[in-house]
Structure 1
């Protein structure tokens, strides 16, 4: 097939880009206005895009460059769109929910590129998963919950067996889809985000918060602060402020931080920031007045760089700031320039850099002109996170094929593969991810699978790992998981599964 992975179209919210001819000024102005509207919190219904694939650029001042990228993406990804129906029956459909536009595109684009490039790799290098090609369609959510739900409803039944799984890349969309995916029997992978209580697979059979929840992240952050101040006993009386995106994403960590504050005796002050996070002066003036010993940052998109700039404006030390793993990528620090030096962030295991899998991506995808990222950005943190996310989904399908056969699988069958996923060090090495991840093992009672992390620090030019591995303390997180998931089960009248009977 001439296409890297088969992609019938890319669903979009912002009209359509043509794949030939120039983009006229009026169309460019209309799109720019829509982007500005989005940054102000506007919500518009999603619309179907008729082009085969559309990759929306971020530079609003260079529409020609955007158009050229879209033409390239269309050429790369739509070549197999007219494949024979018989071939289509042997394809596994995987939707991508992405946001290449709006206030969060600066983070959404590299992540989506990593996901897409890995699916390309599986088709180009391996011919699919045991001979089953991947059929992928990308739908633009702009990080809006309503648009995420629209994308889900549009894509869930596509392909010969429906969607294998969904990756919403949004805690808000995750909350909105949890009941729907359970009813439709389609797993939802929320790697490093989503509902923390969904770690309990007995209650949340179709949610998989792989590699770490926000409660695990909160505990790891406090562990690192304790190490810096000389021990947990030294936390008593300290002030820790929590600057968070005022959304389900930011709020999700608060219960764990409240428990940790009570246990260790530090003063905990949550400080919300309104979407999209470009206005934070009042929050940082409050921080200057309160003078906390540490600031935890749970931001996303433009909020992260803005927070670092505002911290510098009030002379708050950047080396006393610790961001969650969604506040610790290159786009989060580079807008602040030299002011970002010293800033720290958690790592969702992996960091930046290239590993054996990247050599294959460059050989089988980029050498053929089929990559979606700028070559210099391959190996950046969010690109790598996209690779990891896609790999976990692919391996879940591969695992499910062991039980159900080498054919396109239903979401329910892929759910079994996720729940029985066991990636050892040896297997990670085979996949080219040695050094990026530690082993991960999922089970009915543990849909998180791993809860480890490190801390990195920005030196002004790059990220440097500054800690050993931390493991989240389950004596802190597990009672929360049990309590909150039990309340959810009672509210929704869910009978928890008996995990001893699952296999």
Structure 2
């Protein structure tokens, strides 16, 4: 058992013992965040900084602010290894904890499994930049929140960028674009949008699945070598990403013609390849670095006090910062819920769900929270559970990532009808109806 889990377990035992002699009120003043993670297995290099960012933000809010309006934040981490069955086990074990707020499954497969359970248990799911793309439609998916983007918005933005690089989307006609993807719900999710864009613009889409976890790709890159696509889109995660870049180097495929999703565009993906990955591009959902106020506060209140979850030199990295953003949005959802249901009170899952659906983080608010240049403004509603559909491209120069494009917004004219059609099909299959105005106020 990891030290952090021993400490947490001891704290839980202590809290249980103290509840015998202290009031139930004291115990009730804790908002609990279950943290699903994967620190082991082939996805650990990417899962670890993500998980560390979330923990450090919770620690910082407790140390700097005393929690949320006096409500202390607690957490327990549960190891999934990125496996769906283990993710469901973690969910079942942690869902009944007092003060449970929301779940961030950290995996599309786990999200698919929990989408059926969340409405029954009345606990919302946050899936920032992953999960079920059609869940953007909050009138169909009351309990799912794919904040900041989905694989549909990511795929759309990549095609926009390639169009711009070629002098217009019409210039993509006749070109060949290969999708090298993780053969899982995660990897398959962007396919409908890419197929739609291929029909619109006349490019050929070549689909090349990679068996999970992605350590063996020689056959895939032999196909790439034979077909010589104009571009390769990499929809990978964990060890699959660095393996793909090494195989591209070995087969002579130019890295500057490769574009990854935002889960294939962090330091662990390119660090071992170094100069061999030079020119490789990927989507970026968020800013990074140590210059932002929120990262400075984490260093001051957590790491400088010897309370950091992981190594200090990872603080501010791409995925670490994404973990910080996720936990900030969770905290702000609780804070927003308190505004309606009682300041300084512990919120239920239903109340936190309302907070997630009524977030309004404009630039002024983000600046005040310390997130200037870290993320775009986000505003959710009953109809829109995503809140923001922006991303940009960054490029690896052999040593570090550098932003190489302006921000793009996903094309709603293309995606909105697709989201509605997908949501309507889901509702029909489940014999459910859309939420009405009264339900949107609940």
Is the pair's TM-score, using the shorter chain for normalization, greater than 0.5?
Answer: yes
Q: Select the residue among 14, 38, 61 that pairs with 1:82.
A: 14
Q: What CA distance in whole angstroms lies between the structure 1 residues aligned with 2:321 and 2:367?
A: 16
Report how many residues are paired: 433
* Matching of residue 337 in structure 1 with residue 269 in structure 2: no
* Matching of residue 360 in structure 1 with residue 303 in structure 2: no
Matches within 5 A, 1:149-228: 149-159=88-98, 161=99, 163-228=100-165
1:408-452 deviations in Å (ceiling 9; x for gaps): 111011000000001011110111001111110000110010000
* Secondary structure of the corresponding residue to residue 116 of structure 2: helix
Q: CA deviation at 1:502?
A: 2.4
* Matching of residue 425 in structure 1 with residue 357 in structure 2: no
* Secondary structure of the corresponding residue to residue 158 of structure 2: helix
Q: What CA distance in whole angstroms lies between the structure 1 residues aligned with 2:125 and 2:332?
A: 15
Structure 1 residue aligned with 2:413: 475
Structure 2 residue aligned with 1:111: 50
Q: What CA distance in whole angstroms lies between the structure 2 residues aligned with 1:501 and 1:177?
A: 22
Structure 1 residue aligned with 2:240: 303
> Contact conserved, 2:292 with 2:372, CA < 8 A, in 1?
yes
Q: CA deviation at 1:79?
A: 5.6
> Contact conserved, 1:215 with 1:477, CA < 8 A, in 2?
yes
1:83-129 deviations in Å (ceiling 9; x for gaps): 43233221011100000011100000000000000000111111110
State the superposition RMSD in angstroms.
1.4
1:362-413 deviations in Å (ceiling 9; x for gaps): 1111121101121111010000000000000000000000111121111011
1:195-250 deviations in Å (ceiling 9; x for gaps): 00000000100000000010000010001111111111100001000000000000
Q: What CA distance in whole angstroms lies between the structure 2 residues aligned with 1:494 and 1:90?
A: 36
1:342-366 deviations in Å (ceiling 9; x for gaps): 0000001324443110111111111
Q: Select the residue among 374, 377, 388 that pairs with 2:325.
A: 388
Structure 2 residue aligned with 1:327: 264
* Matching of residue 485 in structure 1 with residue 423 in structure 2: yes
* Secondary structure of the corresponding residue to residue 346 of structure 1: strand
Query: Please, which runs of 5 or more residues in structure 2 have no aligned partner?
Result: none
> Contact conserved, 1:76 with 1:370, CA < 8 A, in 2?
no
* Secondary structure of the corresponding residue to residue 367 of structure 1: helix
Given the superposition, is the C-alpha separation of residues 351 and 363 from structure 1 closer, same or farther in structure 2, using an over 3 Å criterion?
closer
Q: What CA distance in whole angstroms lies between the structure 2 residues aligned with 1:351 and 1:236?
A: 35
Query: Please, which runs of 5 or more residues in structure 1 have no aligned partner?
Result: 1-15, 20-52, 55-73
Structure 2 residue aligned with 1:259: 196
Structure ranking higher on relative contact order (CA contacts 8 Å, 6+ apart): 2
